[in-house]
Amino acid sequence: MSWKLSKAANQLREQIDDDFPERSRKSDGAVADSRHIAKGTSDHIPDANGIVRAIDVTADLNDHPEAIYALVEKIRKCAKRGDKRIKYVIFDGRIASPILNWKWRKYKGSNPHRSHFHCSFTTLGDNDSSWFDLENERKANERPKKSRRKLGQSVPSSSTSDLPSSGIRPCCHCKCSSSISLA
């Protein structure tokens, strides 16, 4: 059977790949292996339309060891803030889901998910590839009601600008040196 990853699962994986391009992919996964299929209940098993609603992401982000904990926590908080595409998250012997309002609890499954984290998605994510607001920046990125500057105005590099110097942040979650103004 042919399969495809839900758009939400694909989007989250791409965001992680963008933030951690050198990460290990040793324990990454999407479609079910024979163990999952034998068990019969897994979001890794393609549904009748061939959609897989789960990803596994290797815990080694090739960064500080605690980076994986921070990433999984951001995903949990994103779901808690209301992203209904996320069904549940499992990592390091714990699971978070809407059952206890996204509080961590002990995971009782046979695999404690220490080499990777697991994220399952709801059917809302099948066709929704919108950005996951992992940094809770949605309010900061909303367009101001009234702009105090002239967009498109050319500012010579040798002159001083009336553009504000406060409110400057990196352009995105990548590690580039570009920046944008929030003014």
Does residue 166 fall inside a structural domain? Answer: no
- Residue 47: how many other CB atoms lie within 10 Å: 13
Residue 83 makes CB contacts below 8 A (sequence gap 6+) with 132, 133
Q: Please report how the helices 7-19 and 67-80 are oriented relative to each other, as an axis angle in degrees rounded to 10.
A: 140
Does residue 132 fall inside a structural domain? Answer: no
Q: What is the pLDDT of residue 135?
A: 93
Q: What is the mean pLDDT of residues 109-125?
A: 96
Does residue 118 fall inside a structural domain? Answer: yes
Give 71's Cβ-side CA count (13 Å radius). Answer: 29
Secondary structure element (H or E) that encloses residue 140, with its range? helix 138-141
Q: To which residue do tokens 């596994």 refer?
A: 56
| Residue 160 CA, distance from chain mean position | 39
Between CA 182 and CA 163 the distance in angstroms is 10
Mean pLDDT for all residues in the chain: 81
Between CA 74 and CA 16 the distance in angstroms is 11
> Quick check: 60 and 24 in contact, CB under 8 A?
yes
Domain boundaries, position 94: 4-125
What pTM was estimated for this model as a whole? 0.74
Backbone φ and ψ for 121, nearest 5 degrees, come out as -125, 150
pLDDT tens, 136-156?
986 644 443 333 334 343 434
Q: What is the pLDDT of residue 1?
A: 66
Does residue 179 fall inside a structural domain? Answer: no
pLDDT tens, 55-98?
999 999 998 889 999 999 999 999 999 999 999 999 999 999 99
Does residue 147 fall inside a structural domain? Answer: no
Between CA 135 and CA 120 the distance in angstroms is 20
Does residue 173 fall inside a structural domain? Answer: no
Between CA 14 and CA 26 the distance in angstroms is 16
Q: What is the pLDDT of residue 149?
A: 37
In 3D space, the residue among 108, 87, 11, 1 whose CA is nearest the CA of residue 43 turns out to be 87
Does residue 83 fall inside a structural domain? Answer: yes
Indicate the number of domains in the chain: 1
In 3D space, the residue among 111, 136, 112, 114 whose CA is nearest the CA of residue 69 turns out to be 114
Does residue 46 fall inside a structural domain? Answer: yes
